[in-house]
Homo-oligomer: A and B are copies of this chain.
Amino acid sequence: MYNPQLNRHGELAHLLSIEGLPPHLLRKLLDRAADYVAAGERDEKKHTTLAGRAVFNLFFENSTRTRTTFEIAQKRLSADVFSLNISASSTAKGETLLDTIHNLEAMGADMFVVRHAESGAPFLIAKHVRPGVAVVNAGDGRHAHPTQALLDMYTIRHYKGDFHNLTVAIVGDILHSRVARSQIHALTTLGCPQVRVIAPKTLLPRDVQQLGVQVYHDMREGLKDVDVVIMLRLQNERMNGALLPSANEFFKYYGLTEAKLALAKPGAIVMHPGPMNRGVEIASAVADGEQSVILPQVTFGIAVRMAVMATLAETKQ
């Protein structure tokens, strides 16, 4: 089957989604990230892997946090970094998305990191770039957010070692979450035997069971004996619609409290992609508690993004 992310040697040419990536490629990215984490701990923060390369962060949807993590990773790799707020640029003048891309290629762009509200936009771009130009999906619509999923896998492996004996629960707004979709693909690809999703029916996609997960509507049942709890961010705008009663109600049923966390395995870790809504999907006592690995996730996220971009830069055509 044609996979737009891989070249004909089966190497990573773009990172568009976790879906379609073989397990050995995921593990290779995690291993390389581990090297960067280790180098950082030795205070070797700066590398020359992307020196002289022009990397463009094209954020058609605003996200200071994600853009900043990519920029940090790029500067640590010594890239020339250009971040464009696309709504304010030429596309506003009627230029098409592909005209913009082809122009930036003509200016010498070597890599595009793309965030877009439309699912599939990074695929469209990857299909049309020159050989040698790489595309990284930094979140597209409800579809995928592969670097977030990779840093989550890195975090789980860091704290729990192997995936083969783990039970992982993903809690919250699965329906609108590109993060959840990518996490589920990554966990099943890496051999995690039991992935649970915990959510009200209104926040679950219809076909969710086809992704190989077990569905729970009751958080106390779903958290029982899990090794890893991944909380999702609740978008405030969902609260006003018919999908959810109120933030208070949501917290009562699906917010992670110390009492609910006590149902998980002792030593279970708590994760969140950030930014957190304290008191909505997670209690502050848990967010700042001993089992929380939310800040280490952020640290590992830099190393994972360095690993992805360094790997892409070294892929031969």
**CB within 8 A of A82: which of B45, B68, B108?**
B68
Q: Which residues from 224 to 269 on chain A have a C-beta closer than 8 Å to any C-beta of chain B?
A: 236
Cβ distance A110 to chain B, nearest Cβ, rounded Å: 9
- Beta-carbon contact of A65 and B89 below 8 Å: yes
- Beta-carbon contact of B302 and A108 below 8 Å: yes
Residues in B whose Cβ lies below 8 Å from that of A53: 45
Residues in B whose Cβ lies below 8 Å from that of A295: 102-103, 105-106
Known pairs A64-B88, A65-B89 / 16 extra A-B pairs, C-beta < 8 Å: A46-B52, A64-B84, A65-B90, A65-B103, A68-B84, A68-B107, A69-B107, A71-B82, A72-B80, A95-B275, A95-B276, A106-B295, A106-B298, A107-B299, A107-B302, A108-B302
- Closest B-chain residue to A95, C-beta based? B275
Q: Is A144 an interface residue (CB 8 A)?
A: no
Interface string of A46-81 (1 = CB under 8 A from B): 100001111000000010110011011001100010
CA–CA, A257 and B276, complex, Å: 54
- Beta-carbon contact of A277 and B94 below 8 Å: yes
Q: A99-B276, A276-B99, A277-B94 are in contact. Are A299 and B76 (CB under 8 A)?
A: no
- Beta-carbon contact of A107 and B278 below 8 Å: no
Q: Is A40 an interface residue (CB 8 A)?
A: yes
- Beta-carbon contact of A275 and B68 below 8 Å: no
Q: Is A10 an interface residue (CB 8 A)?
A: no
**CB within 8 A of A72: which of B62, B108, B301?**
B108
List residues of chain A with CB under 8 Å of any chain B CB: 40, 45-46, 51-54, 62, 64-65, 68-69, 71-72, 75-76, 80, 82, 84-85, 88-90, 93-96, 99, 102-108, 236, 274-278, 295-299, 301-302
Question: Chain A's interface: helix, strand, loop or mixed, by majority?
Answer: helix
- Residue among A84, A99, A296 with most chain B CB within 10 A: A99
**CB within 8 A of A275: which of B52, B76, B90, B302?**
B90
A-B contact pairs, 9 of them (CB 8 A): A65-B103, A72-B108, A90-B275, A93-B236, A94-B236, A99-B278, A102-B295, A103-B295, A106-B299
Residues in B whose Cβ lies below 8 Å from that of A51: 46
Q: Lowest 9 A-B CB distances belong to which pairs?
A: A64-B89, A106-B298, A95-B275, A46-B52, A106-B295, A90-B275, A75-B80, A45-B52, A106-B299
Residues in B whose Cβ lies below 8 Å from that of A90: 64-65, 274-275
- Residue among A84, A104, A107 with most chain B CB within 10 A: A107
- Closest B-chain residue to A44, C-beta based? B52
Residues in B whose Cβ lies below 8 Å from that of A40: 108
- Closest B-chain residue to A103, C-beta based? B298
Residues in B whose Cβ lies below 8 Å from that of A297: 106
Residues in B whose Cβ lies below 8 Å from that of A85: 64
Residues in B whose Cβ lies below 8 Å from that of A72: 54, 80, 82, 107-108
